[in-house]
Amino acid sequence: MLEFIWPWMFYLLPLPLLARLLLPPAETRQAALKTPFLEDFRQETTTAARAIHGRQTLVLAGLCWLLLVTATARPQWVGEPVELPVSGRDLMMAVDLSGSMNEQDFFINDRPVDRLTAAKRVAGEFIDRRAGDRLGLILFGDRAYMQTPLTFD
């Protein structure tokens, strides 16, 4: 089902018409420097052709305004609610990224690895066993920052 978050924005639809009716027309000035355009090379068009072109421009501008106001009203497709598991835990993992994590004092498959690689492997195994829990990740070194907020993903 389509739902508009800000349906009151549709009150802006008559704004161009009100501006046209209430504001004085803009002054047309002669350009100080004439630049050639494609219209300068065409033959004179008839009044009827200019009127049709003006109506097409007006319809296109009206359609653009309608689409802009509709987008501003924030349309959202609302579907069926999704059941999320609520029996799990909220866990935040903190991982050190300082220079000390470059020390190769751990062994994986009889091969020396640095501390960060060992931490990634242990964290991966831990995450795989966390069905139904929300996990987040905080990284720190000189300063701490949240890399990932709590999520089921």
What tens-digit pLDDT sequence spans the chain (153 residues)? 889 999 999 999 999 999 989 988 877 777 677 776 666 666 655 666 666 777 888 899 999 999 999 999 999 988 888 776 667 889 999 999 888 888 888 888 889 999 999 999 999 999 888 888 889 999 998 899 999 999 887
Q: How far apart, in whole angstroms, are the C-alpha atoms of residue 53 and residue 11?
A: 29
Burial of 135 (0-12, 13-18, 19+ CB in 10 A): buried
**How much is the pTM?**
0.45
The pLDDT value given to residue 46: 63
Buried b (16+ CB within 10 A) or exposed e, 78-102: eeeeeeeeeeeeeeeeeeeeeeeee
Note the pLDDT of residue 87.
75
pLDDT score at 25: 83
Residue 28 confidence (pLDDT): 74
